[in-house]
Chain A
């Protein structure tokens, strides 16, 4: 699954149970580890996350199940730890 990171921006993100999470705003990478570390998601489904005044959330890469025309992430229980996206 080799992909250009610019192709990810704007993709819709759903959980593996079909619940919309949001839209990919940005991708974070760890330069030293040479890994994608997370996916910053904006336009967040507020039924799933209460992000308060934040712009979005960052989902760790290990939650990502598949990337194609959309991004599928593992279904998460409500109100996991929130991170404000830059």
Chain B
């Protein structure tokens, strides 16, 4: 079990497992009916190329399944950051 309190997570760095700095955690999207965590909202780092990523109002949306750990930093698996096109329909609630 890796239960974490979310309030302390905002502003923490989001780092890809290959070492790339992605940005800063801004929010977490969840389906409160099922409890399922859908995605994290990240303010992209200036050095990060956001091309090809799902964007919303200047923030990157990363599917939660890419999140490997959330402690002092949030680590995400880069190979799972993008939404495969067939997945986009299934995450809409």
A binding-site residues for B, Cβ under 8 Å: 1-6, 8-9, 25-32, 34-38, 40, 61-62, 64, 67, 86
B93 touches A28 (CB 8 A): no
Query: Could you say which residues of chain A place their CB within 8 Å of the CB of B69?
Result: 31
A29 touches B6 (CB 8 A): yes
Is B27 among interface residues, defined by CB-CB distance under 8 A? yes
How many B residues touch A, CB cutoff 8 Å? 27
Interface of A is mostly: strand
Shortest B25–chain A CB gap in Å is 11
B32 touches A29 (CB 8 A): no
Query: What total of A-B pairs shows CB separation below 8 Å?
Result: 79
Is B88 among interface residues, defined by CB-CB distance under 8 A? no
Shortest A43–chain B CB gap in Å is 15
B binding-site residues for A, Cβ under 8 Å: 1-7, 10, 27-33, 35-38, 41, 64-65, 67-70, 93
B7 touches A9 (CB 8 A): yes
A35 touches B35 (CB 8 A): yes
Knowing A31-B69, A34-B65, A36-B35, say if A5 contacts B6 (CB, 8 Å). yes
Looking at the complex, which one of A25, A29, A38, A61 makes contact with B28 (CB distance below 8 Å)? A29
CA distance A83 to B64 in the complex (A): 27
Looking at the complex, which one of A26, A67, A86 makes contact with B32 (CB distance below 8 Å)? A67
A36 (CB) vs chain B CBs: closest residue: B35
A2 touches B28 (CB 8 A): no
